[in-house]
Structure 1
Amino acid sequence: MTVHFIGAGPGAVDLITVRGQKLLAECEVCLYAGSTVNQELLDYCPPSTRKVNTAALDLQQLEQEYVSAWQQGQEVARLHSGDLSIYSALAEQLRVLERLGIPYTLTPGVPAFAAAAAAIGRELTIPEVAQSLVLTRLSGRASKMPESEQLERFAETRATLALHLAIHRLDEIVERLSPFYGADCPSVVVYRASWEEQQIVTAPLASIVEACIQHRFERSALVLVGRALGAVAFDNSALYRSDYCRRFR
Structure 2
Amino acid sequence: MISFIGAGPGDPELITIKGRRLIDSADVIIYAGSLVNPGVLEGHKESAAIYNSALMDLDEVIKVMSEAEAEGKKVVRVHTGDPAIYGAHREQMDRLDELGITYEVIPGVSSAFATAAALKAEYTMPSKSQTVIFTRMEGRTPMPEGEKLTDLARHHATMVIFLSIGFMEEMVEQLEAGGYEPTTPVGVVYKASWPDQIILRGTLADIAQKVKDNGIKKTALTVVGDCLGDDYELSKLYDKHFTTEFRKGKE
Is this a same-fold pair by TM over 0.5? yes
The amino acid of 1:148's aligned partner reads G
The amino acid of 1:64's aligned partner reads K
* 1:23 matches 2:27: no
**1:215-237: CA deviation from partner (whole Å, max 9, x where unpaired):** 2222110011111111x232211
* 1:78 matches 2:106: no
Match of 2:155 in 1: 157
The amino acid of 2:159's aligned partner reads L
Residues 93-112 of structure 1 aligned to structure 2 (within 5 Å): 93-112=92-111
* 1:194 matches 2:193: yes
* 1:147 matches 2:148: no
Match of 1:59 in 2: 58
**1:71-125: CA deviation from partner (whole Å, max 9, x where unpaired):** 2111101000000111000110001100001110000000111000100111111
Q: Equivalents in 2 of 1:62, 1:248: separation in Å? A: 51
Deviation at 1:148, TM superposition (A): 1.7
**1:169-220: CA deviation from partner (whole Å, max 9, x where unpaired):** 1111100112411111111110000000100111111111111112222211
The amino acid of 1:60's aligned partner reads D
Q: Equivalents in 1 of 2:88, 2:43: separation in Å? A: 24
Match of 1:185 in 2: 184
Match of 1:219 in 2: 218
SS in 2 for 1:22: helix
Match of 2:38 in 1: 39
Q: Equivalents in 2 of 1:39, 1:30: separation in Å? A: 12
- Report % sequence identity: 39
Bigger shift: residues 239-248 or 11-20: 239-248
Gap runs ≥5 in structure 1: none
Is the CA contact 1:8–1:83 (under 8 Å) kept in the aligned structure 2? yes
Bigger shift: residues 44-53 or 191-200: 44-53
SS in 1 for 2:196: coil
Q: Equivalents in 2 of 1:247, 1:145: separation in Å? A: 43
Match of 2:168 in 1: 170
The amino acid of 1:241's aligned partner reads D
SS in 2 for 1:154: helix
The amino acid of 1:63's aligned partner reads I
Q: TM-score by structure 2 length?
A: 0.95
Is the CA contact 1:137–1:166 (under 8 Å) kept in the aligned structure 2? yes
Match of 1:235 in 2: 233
Is the CA contact 1:30–1:51 (under 8 Å) kept in the aligned structure 2? yes
Q: TM-score by structure 1 length?
A: 0.95
Is the CA contact 1:178–1:206 (under 8 Å) kept in the aligned structure 2? no
SS in 2 for 1:181: coil
Deviation at 1:248, TM superposition (A): 7.6
The amino acid of 2:234's aligned partner reads N
The amino acid of 1:26's aligned partner reads S
Gap runs ≥5 in structure 2: none
**1:122-175: CA deviation from partner (whole Å, max 9, x where unpaired):** 11111011111100012232x321012111121111001000000011111100
The amino acid of 2:131's aligned partner reads S
Q: Equivalents in 1 of 2:232, 2:32: separation in Å? A: 42
The amino acid of 1:158's aligned partner reads H
Deviation at 1:242, TM superposition (A): 2.3
